[in-house]
C-alpha cells in the first residue's frame, strides 16, 4: 500500500527530439522504453526545465548566455516547431491498494502535451500557466512499475525575430498564453525554443476515497489586531462509488525552539460526500487572540503558522492531507490624497515601498529552491520590501513565494499582458491580447488558486504598461473583487454582516477577496494613474537630480532604471577575450559617447553617459586603463547611482512619493544593464548602495540642499539620538567635524536636521570623504552609518586616481564557524592608520544590531584603543560565539601593512575556491556569498564588523580575499 501524499518526479528523465524518435507513445511506455546510448537520440533531461536547458546540459548546443553563442543556435522561427517538439520519458514506482487513487500532476507545461502512461494516452490542453491533474488510478500497473512518456509541443505562435530585435520580437507570442520576453527585449536575447518544456514540478499524489483540493485561507482582524479569525474553505472530491462519511480536520501550529511545535487550534468537522461528487466546505472560523503577525521586511518579524487540513474517511482512515505556511496579516491599499500615489498599509501601518522589478531567475527556466532562496534573500539583504513580477515573465512559482514569505518581500504579481506585445510596437502588435480569452482567464484563475495563500502576495495587476482586453479585464475585476470586509472599515461587532448573501459571509469562499486587483502597472495610483507612459527614466542620472523637485512628479514610480555593469571576473567568465575590450570613449560635441564592443552590445550594455544630459560618470574618475579598471570604476558609479536614487525618493517620503520600484534587480541571463547581482550571483556595488539607502532607519545627505536628513520608516519615535558628521581629505586630515545632539524623529517621517556646511567653508578640498553616523546618545551605538565620496560642484573625482597609491594599514580579526558545507565568517576590519581622537564618536561607537541579524550580535563589537586590544578581541569573539553551536577553527589575525594615514577606500571582499586541477584563467569565485556589507570604506581609527556566509563545494578549499581602491593584488584574509 502506497503512502498517502505527494511524490515529486524530478530525476531520471530522458529526452529526445520527436523527429528522431520513430516509436509511438504507446510503444515507448509498453514494449520499447528508451535508453541513453551512442546510437539513440535520447539524452538526460532537465525536468523541471526546458528543451533548450536539456540541450545545453548535454552540450548539444553551446551555452546561449556565453558571448555570442546564442546566435549559433537555430531559432524556432527558422527550424519550425517540430525541431523543438520533444519527448520526455521517465519511470516511477507506485503500488496502490484496492481503495487508493493516484493522480499524475503537471504544475505547468509549455505549451501543450500528449501524455502516455503504460500505453494509455491523455491530452494536456494548451496554456503555459495552468495545472494539469490526471486520475491514473486505472492505468498504473499492479506491480508498481510505471512508464511515463510526454510529448511536449512549443507555443502555437512562436513568432520570428526581426533583424533589429525589438520588444517581444514580432509580437506573435502574445497570441498565446505564455511568457512574452522569449522573443527578446531591450534587456534580453531571444530564447530559441521559446521556453518549450515541462518547466515546473511533476508529481504523483496518492489519496484515499476523498481528495482535498485548493484550500483557501484568509485572516480577518478586530480590536486593533488583538482578535483575529482564520477563515478556511476547501473543495473535497469523493472519487469512490460510495457515500463517504468524513472527519475533516484543520490544525494550526507554530514552531517553538528545538523540534517542538505548539498546537494553536485543532478542529474536526463531520460531513457526508455523495459518491463521485465534488463539494465545497467552509470551516467555522477559528479565533486567535493576539496572534503573531507577519510583517514585511524592515517592519517586524515574518511570523508564520502551519495550517494542516486532513480528511479521514470512515472505514478507510486518513484519505488526504494538505499543509501550508500561513501569515496573519492585513494588506490595505488606496490612492493617497497628498501624493496621488498608491499607498500600502500592512497591519494598519503605512509602508514606504522600496523594491525592484523581477523578470525570472533564469531564462532557460532552470528554477530551483536553492536559487530562489538566494534570490529572495538578496532582495531582503538590500532592505527591499516589494518585488514586482513583470507581466512579460512568469506567474511565479510557489517556491518563489515561499521565500518571499520567509524573508518578508511583498509581491506584486502581474498577468501575461505587456504593452509592447499587446497593442503597440513595430510591427504593431495585436491589441486584443491572446487569441483565446477563455484560456487566459482559465490560467489566471488557476494561478490565483495556486498562490493566494501566501502572505507575501500583495496585489494582482492585469498587465505591464497595458491593460487586458475589455472582456478579460472585466472578468478579472469581478473574479478578484474584494470581500466587503476588506473594502471598508472593520465591523465592530466582530462578525460579518448576517443579512449578506451566503457567498459573502466568509471571505475564504471568494477566489481571492483579500487583496486588490489593479488593471495595469501605470493605472490607479501608479505612474500618472491614467496609463500614459510616465514610468522611467531608464538611463544613468546625475546623482543630485534624484533630489530635485522636477525629477519625477508622480507619487509611485513602478519602473525607474539605470546601469548595472558587473565585476570584471563575470565578464571574463561569460565572454571570450574579444568581449573583454572596454568601450571606446568617442568625443562628440561636449560629451563622450561610449562605443561598446559587439559582445557587450549583444548583452544589452547600457552606457554610463546620457548624451547632452549626463556626462560620462566613469570618466569622472579618469580614463579606464583596462577591464579591471573599467569595472572597478563602474562599481563606484553603481554604488552612488542607486544610493542616490533611493535616498532621493526617501527624502520625499509621504510628501511627494509613496514608493518606487527599480527596473530591474536582476538578470535572467548574462546581461549588462539594470541589475544588483549578475546571473552568476555576484553582487554589484549597487547592491550595497541600495542596502545602505533602504535601511529602516537611515542618515543621509540631500545632494541638492546639503541638509543632513534622518529617515525613520519604523512605527517607533527615535529620541535622544545624535548625528556625527566628519569630513576627511585625501591626506587623512579631518577638516570638518560636527555633532548634532539630542535629536528626535517621529515615526514614518523623513526629517531635515541641519546643513552640512563644509563645502561652503574656506578652502574646501576638490575631493573629500564624508562619514555620517546616527547613534543613540545613551550608549553610543550606531544605528545608521553612511559614507560618501564627494567633489565640489562642477568638479570630478580624478584626484582619486593618485589616491590609489596610498598604503593605508588594515587589521582584520576573523573567525570561521563551520557546519557541514556552510562556512560563516565573522570579522572585525580596522583602519589602523591612526587612533581616533578621544573626543570623536568613532572612539566609542558600537554597531547596533540590525533587524534580521538575529544570529550575529554585532552590538558586542568594540573598537578599543586602551592598550588591551588582544583582551578585547578575545572578549568580542567569546560574545559572538555564544550565538553558535558550530565547530570553529579558531581566531585569526591578518594585517595589511601601510605607511600612510587616510581612508581605506572602497574595500571589497570576495571568496575563492582552491582545488586540484585548477586551470589557468578559470573563474575561482565561490558564489553565491552573503555579506553583511561590502564595497565599504573606513576612516582612520574606524573598525567595522562584517559577516560572510557561503556554501563550500566538495573538494574545494575556500579563501577569502580583500581588495580595494588603494589595495591591489590579492590580500588573503582567511
Q: Tens digit of pLDDT for each residue in 363-399?
A: 999 999 999 999 999 999 999 999 999 999 999 999 9
Is the separation of the CB atoms in 778 and 720 below 8 Å? yes
Banded model confidence at residue 872, pLDDT cuts 50, 70, 90? very low
The cell for 695 is: 535601511
The cell for 380 is: 531582503
pLDDT tens figures, 134-163: 999 999 998 889 999 999 999 999 999 998
Q: Residue 410: which residues within 8 A CB-CB, separation 6 or more? A: 296, 331, 344, 346, 351, 353, 355, 385, 386, 387, 404, 456, 457, 458
State the helix-helix crossing angle for 685-693 and 627-651, rounded to 10 degrees.
20
Q: Residue 884: which residues within 8 A CB-CB, separation 6 or more? A: 817, 824, 855
Place of cell 579591471: 628
Banded model confidence at residue 876, pLDDT cuts 50, 70, 90? very low
Is the separation of the CB atoms in 962 and 909 below 8 Å? yes
Angstrom distance (rounded) from CA 534 to CA 554: 8
Question: Is the pLDDT score of 298 beyond 80?
Answer: yes
Question: How big is the chain, counted in residues?
Answer: 974
What is the mean pLDDT of the segment spanning 930-955? 96
pLDDT tens figures, 318-375: 999 999 999 999 999 999 999 999 999 999 999 999 999 999 999 999 999 999 999 9
Place of cell 522636477: 550
Banded model confidence at residue 487, pLDDT cuts 50, 70, 90? confident
Is 559 marked active-site? yes
Is the separation of the CB atoms in 197 and 152 below 8 Å? yes
Catalytic residue chosen out of the listed positions 559, 594, 709, 824: 559
What 3-state DSSP class applies to 393?
coil
Is the separation of the CB atoms in 529 and 522 below 8 Å? yes
Q: Hey, how many other C-beta atoms are within 10 angstroms of the C-beta on 223?
A: 12
The cell for 705 is: 540642499
3-state secondary structure string across 675-732:
CCECCCCCECHHHHHHHHHCCCEEEEECCCCCEEEEEECCCCCEEEEEEEEEEECCCC
Banded model confidence at residue 438, pLDDT cuts 50, 70, 90? very high
Tell me: cis bond preceding 48? Omega within 30 of 0 counts. yes
Question: Is the pLDDT score of 873 beyond 90?
Answer: no
Burial class of residue 442 (count of CB atoms within 10 Å of its CB; 0-12, 13-18, 19+): middle
Angstrom distance (rounded) from CA 722 to CA 716: 16
The cell for 704 is: 541638492
Is the separation of the CB atoms in 355 and 140 below 8 Å? no
CA separation, residue 324 to residues 20, 253, 290, 297, 615 (Å): 43, 11, 21, 21, 52
pLDDT of residue 593: 92
For the ranges 809-823, 841-855, 871-885, the maximum mean pLDDT occurs at 809-823
Question: Is the pLDDT score of 860 beyond 70?
Answer: no
Eight-class DSSP state of 177? S
pLDDT of residue 164: 80
pLDDT tens figures, 155-186: 999 999 998 878 899 999 999 999 999 999 99
Eight-class DSSP state of 759? G
Count Cα neighbours of 397 within 13 Å in the Cβ-side half-sphere: 23
The cell for 686 is: 549597487
Question: Is the pLDDT score of 501 beyond 80?
Answer: no
Is the separation of the CB atoms in 889 and 809 below 8 Å? no
Place of cell 553610543: 780
pLDDT of residue 842: 65
The cell for 564 is: 548595472
Angstrom distance (rounded) from CA 217 to CA 453: 6
Across the chain, mean pLDDT equals 92
Angstrom distance (rounded) from CA 624 to CA 402: 43
pLDDT of residue 509: 96
pLDDT of residue 841: 65
- Least confident range from 215-219, 438-442, 642-646, 884-888: namely 884-888
Question: Is the pLDDT score of 492 beyond 50?
Answer: no
Q: Which of 405, 399, 400, 398 is nearest to 358 (CA)?
A: 400
pLDDT tens figures, 38-76: 889 999 999 999 999 999 999 999 999 999 999 999 999
Angstrom distance (rounded) from CA 189 to CA 669: 8
pLDDT of residue 98: 84
Angstrom distance (rounded) from CA 170 to CA 162: 6
- Least confident range from 143-152, 501-510, 832-841, 867-876: namely 867-876
Percent of the chain with pLDDT over 70: 93
Dihedral over alpha carbons 884, 885, 886, 888 (to 10 degrees): 80
pLDDT of residue 748: 97
Place of cell 484563475: 445
Q: Which residue has the higher pLDDT, 424 or 952?
A: 952
Eight-class DSSP state of 612? T
Place of cell 544593464: 673
Angstrom distance (rounded) from CA 172 to CA 111: 14
Angstrom distance (rounded) from CA 799 to CA 789: 12
Percent of the chain with pLDDT over 90: 84
pLDDT of residue 848: 64
Cα of 391 vs its chain's centroid, Å: 16
Exposure string for 339-366, b = 16+ CB within 10 A, e = fewer: bbbbbbebbebbbbbbbbbbbbbbbbbb
Q: Hey, how many other C-beta atoms are within 10 angstroms of the C-beta on 22?
A: 8
Tell me: cis bond preceding 928? Omega within 30 of 0 counts. yes
Full set of structural domains in the chain with CATH: 5-203 (2.60.120.260), 210-326 (2.60.40.10), 695-796 (2.60.40.10), 810-854+882-973 (2.60.40.10)
pLDDT of residue 387: 98
Count Cα neighbours of 890 within 13 Å in the Cβ-side half-sphere: 2
Dihedral over alpha carbons 633, 638, 644, 646 (to 10 degrees): -170
Banded model confidence at residue 426, pLDDT cuts 50, 70, 90? confident
pLDDT of residue 203: 98
Cα of 949 vs its chain's centroid, Å: 18
Question: Is the pLDDT score of 190 beyond 70?
Answer: yes
Cα angle: 482, vertex 485, 491; to 5 degrees: 165
CA separation, residue 759 to residues 710, 756, 764, 971 (Å): 20, 8, 6, 36
Banded model confidence at residue 969, pLDDT cuts 50, 70, 90? confident
Catalytic residue chosen out of the listed positions 183, 237, 465, 830: 465
Specify which residues 345 forms β-bridges with. Answer: 332, 350
pLDDT tens figures, 665-715: 999 999 999 999 999 999 999 999 999 999 999 999 999 999 999 999 999
pLDDT of residue 263: 85
Question: Is the pLDDT score of 126 beyond 50?
Answer: yes
The cell for 895 is: 594585517
Eight-class DSSP state of 656? T
Q: Hey, how many other C-beta atoms are within 10 angstroms of the C-beta on 837?
A: 14
pLDDT of residue 489: 43
Q: How far apart are the first and last CA of the chain?
A: 54
The cell for 869 is: 586590544
State the helix-helix crossing angle for 369-381 and 398-407, rounded to 10 degrees.
30
Is the separation of the CB atoms in 83 and 74 below 8 Å? yes
Question: Is the pLDDT score of 601 beyond 60?
Answer: yes
pLDDT of residue 856: 34
Banded model confidence at residue 264, pLDDT cuts 50, 70, 90? confident
Is the separation of the CB atoms in 691 and 933 below 8 Å? yes
Is 318 marked active-site? no
Is the separation of the CB atoms in 948 and 929 below 8 Å? yes
Eight-class DSSP state of 859? G
Cα angle: 232, vertex 238, 242; to 5 degrees: 140
For CA atoms 181, 186, 187, 191, the dihedral sign is: positive
What 3-state DSSP class applies to 579?
helix
- H or E segment at 196? none
Amino acid at each position: 500500500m502506497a503512502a498517502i501524499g505527494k511524490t515529486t518526479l524530478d530525476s531520471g528523465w530522458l529526452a529526445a527530439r520527436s523527429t528522431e524518435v520513430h516509436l509511438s507513445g504507446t510503444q515507448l511506455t509498453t514494449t520499447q522504453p528508451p535508453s541513453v546510448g551512442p546510437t539513440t537520440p535520447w539524452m538526460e533531461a532537465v525536468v523541471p526545465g526546458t528543451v533548450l536547458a536539456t540541450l545545453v546540459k548535454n552540450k548539444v548546443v553551446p551555452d546561449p548566455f556565453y558571448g555570442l553563442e546564442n546566435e549559433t543556435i537555430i531559432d524556432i522561427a527558422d527550424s519550425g516547431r517540430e525541431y523543438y517538439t520533444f519527448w520526455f520519458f521517465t519511470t516511477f514506482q507506485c503500488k496502490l491498494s484496492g481503495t487508493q487513487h493516484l493522480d499524475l500532476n503537471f504544475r505547468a507545461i509549455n505549451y501543450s502535451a500528449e501524455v502516455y502512461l503504460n500505453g494509455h494516452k491523455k491530452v494536456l490542453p494548451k496554456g503555459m500557466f495552468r495545472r494539469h491533474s490526471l486520475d491514473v488510478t486505472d492505468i498504473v500497473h499492479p506491480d508498481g512499475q510505471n512508464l511515463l512518456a510526454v510529448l511536449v509541443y512549443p507555443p502555437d505562435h512562436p513568432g520570428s525575430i526581426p533583424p533589429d530585435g525589438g520588444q517581444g520580437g514580432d509580437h506573435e507570442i502574445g497570441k498565446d498564453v505564455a511568457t512574452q520576453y522569449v522573443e527578446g527585449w531591450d534587456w534580453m536575447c531571444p530564447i530559441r525554443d521559446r521556453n518549450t518544456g515541462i518547466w515546473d514540478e511533476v508529481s504523483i499524489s496518492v489519496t484515499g476515497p476523498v481528495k482535498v483540493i485548493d484550500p483557501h485561507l484568509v485572516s480577518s482582524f478586530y480590536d486593533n489586531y488583538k482578535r483575529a479569525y482564520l477563515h478556511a474553505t476547501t473543495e473535497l472530491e469523493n472519487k469512490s462509488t460510495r457515500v463517504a462519511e468524513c472527519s475533516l480536520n484543520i490544525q494550526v501550529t507554530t514552531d517553538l525552539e528545538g523540534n517542538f511545535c505548539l498546537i494553536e487550534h485543532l478542529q474536526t468537522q463531520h460531513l457526508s460526500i455523495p459518491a463521485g461528487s465534488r463539494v465545497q466546505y467552509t470551516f467555522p472560523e477559528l479565533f486567535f487572540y493576539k496572534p503573531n503577525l507577519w510583517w514585511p521586511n524592515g517592519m517586524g518579524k515574518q511570523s508564520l503558522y502551519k495550517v494542516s487540513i486532513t480528511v479521514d474517511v470512515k472505514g478507510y482512515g486518513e484519505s488526504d492531507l494538505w499543509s501550508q505556511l500561513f501569515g496573519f496579516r492585513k494588506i490595505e491599499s488606496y490612492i493617497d490624497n497628498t501624493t496621488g500615489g498608491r499607498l500600502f498599509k500592512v497591519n494598519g501601518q503605512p509602508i514606504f515601498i522600496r523594491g525592484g522589478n523581477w523578470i525570472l531567475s533564469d531564462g532557460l527556466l532552470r528554477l530551483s529552491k536553492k536559487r530562489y532562496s538566494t534570490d529572495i534573500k538578496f532582495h531582503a539583504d538590500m532592505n527591499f520590501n516589494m518585488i514586482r513580477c513583470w507581466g512579460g515573465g512568469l506567474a511565479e512559482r510557489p517556491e518563489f513565494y515561499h521565500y518571499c514569505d520567509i524573508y518578508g518581500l511583498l509581491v506584486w504579481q502581474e498577468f501575461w499582458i505587456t504593452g509592447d506585445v499587446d497593442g503597440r510596437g513595430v510591427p504593431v502588435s495585436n491589441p486584443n491580447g491572446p487569441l483565446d480569452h477563455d484560456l487566459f482567464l482559465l490560467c489566471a484563475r488557476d494561478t490565483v488558486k495556486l498562490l493566494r495563500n501566501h502572505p507575501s502576495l500583495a496585489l494582482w495587476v492585469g498587465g505591464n504598461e497595458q491593460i487586458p482586453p475589455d472582456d478579460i479585464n472585466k472578468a478579472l475585476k469581478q473574479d478578484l473583487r474584494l470581500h466587503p470586509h476588506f473594502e471598508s472599515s472593520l465591523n465592530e461587532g466582530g462578525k460579518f454582516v448576517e443579512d449578506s448573501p451566503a457567498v459573502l459571509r466568509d471571505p475564504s469562499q471568494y477566489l481571492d477577496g483579500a487583496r486588490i486587483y489593479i488593471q495595469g502597472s501605470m493605472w490607479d495610483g501608479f505612474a500618472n494613474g491614467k496609463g500614459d507612459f510616465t514610468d522611467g527614466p531608464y538611463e544613468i542620472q546625475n546623482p543630485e537630480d534624484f533630489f530635485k523637485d522636477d525629477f519625477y512628479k508622480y507619487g509611485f514610480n513602478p519602473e525607474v532604471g539605470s546601469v548595472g555593469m558587473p565585476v570584471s571576473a563575470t565578464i571574463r567568465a561569460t565572454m571570450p577575450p574579444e568581449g573583454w575590450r572596454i568601450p571606446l570613449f568617442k568625443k562628440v560635441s561636449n560629451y563622450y559617447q561610449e562605443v561598446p564592443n559587439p559582445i557587450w552590445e549583444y548583452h544589452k550594455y547600457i552606457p554610463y553617459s546620457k548624451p547632452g544630459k549626463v556626462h560620462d560618470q566613469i570618466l569622472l574618475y579618469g580614463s579606464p586603463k583596462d577591464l579591471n579598471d573599467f569595472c572597478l570604476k563602474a562599481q563606484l558609479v553603481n554604488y552612488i547611482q542607486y544610493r542616490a536614487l533611493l535616498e532621493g525618493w526617501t527624502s520625499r517620503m509621504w510628501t511627494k512619493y509613496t514608493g518606487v520600484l527599480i527596473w530591474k534587480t536582476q538578470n535572467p541571463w548574462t546581461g549588462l544593464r539594470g541589475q544588483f547581482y549578475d546571473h552568476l550571483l555576484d553582487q554589484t556595488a549597487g547592491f550595497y548602495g541600495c542596502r545602505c539607502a533602504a535601511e529602516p532607519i537611515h542618515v543621509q545627505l540631500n545632494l541638492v540642499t546639503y541638509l543632513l536628513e534622518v529617515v525613520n520608516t519604523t512605527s517607533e519615535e527615535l529620541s535622544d539620538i545624535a548625528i556625527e558628521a566628519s569630513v576627511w581629505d585625501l591626506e587623512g586630515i579631518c577638516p570638518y567635524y560636527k555633532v548634532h545632539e539630542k535629536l528626535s524623529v517621529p515615526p514614518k517621517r523623513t526629517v531635515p536636521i541641519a546643513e552640512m556646511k563644509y563645502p561652503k567653508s574656506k578652502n574646501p578640498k576638490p575631493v573629500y570623504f564624508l562619514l555620517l553616523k546616527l547613534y543613540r546618545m545613551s550608549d553610543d551605538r550606531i544605528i545608521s552609518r553612511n559614507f560618501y565620496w564627494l567633489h565640489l560642484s562642477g568638479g570630478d573625482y580624478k584626484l582619486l586616481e593618485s589616491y590609489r597609491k596610498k598604503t593605508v594599514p588594515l587589521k582584520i580579526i576573523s573567525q570561521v564557524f563551520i557546519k557541514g558545507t556552510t562556512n560563516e565568517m565573522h570579522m572585525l576590519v580596522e583602519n589602523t592608520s591612526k587612533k581616533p581622537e578621544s573626543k570623536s564618536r568613532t572612539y566609542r561607537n558600537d554597531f547596533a544590531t540590525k533587524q534580521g541579524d538575529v544570529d550575529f550580535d554585532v552590538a558586542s563589537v568594540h573598537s578599543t584603543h586602551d592598550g588591551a586590544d588582544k583582551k578585547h578581541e578575545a572578549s568580542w569573539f567569546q560574545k559572538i560565539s555564544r550565538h553558535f553551536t558550530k565547530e570553529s577553527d579558531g581566531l585569526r589575525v591578518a594585517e595589511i601593512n601601510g605607511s600612510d594615514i587616510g581612508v581605506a577606500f572602497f574595500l571589497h571582499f570576495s571568496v575563492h575556491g582552491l582545488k586540484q586541477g585548477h586551470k589557468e584563467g578559470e573563474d575561482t569565485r565561490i558564489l553565491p556569498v552573503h555579506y553583511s556589507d561590502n564595497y565599504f570604506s573606513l576612516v582612520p581609527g574606524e573598525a567595522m564588523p562584517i559577516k560572510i556566509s557561503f556554501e563550500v563545494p566538495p573538494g574545494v578549499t575556500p579563501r577569502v580575499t580583500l581588495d580595494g581602491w588603494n589595495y591591489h593584488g590579492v590580500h588573503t584574509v582567511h
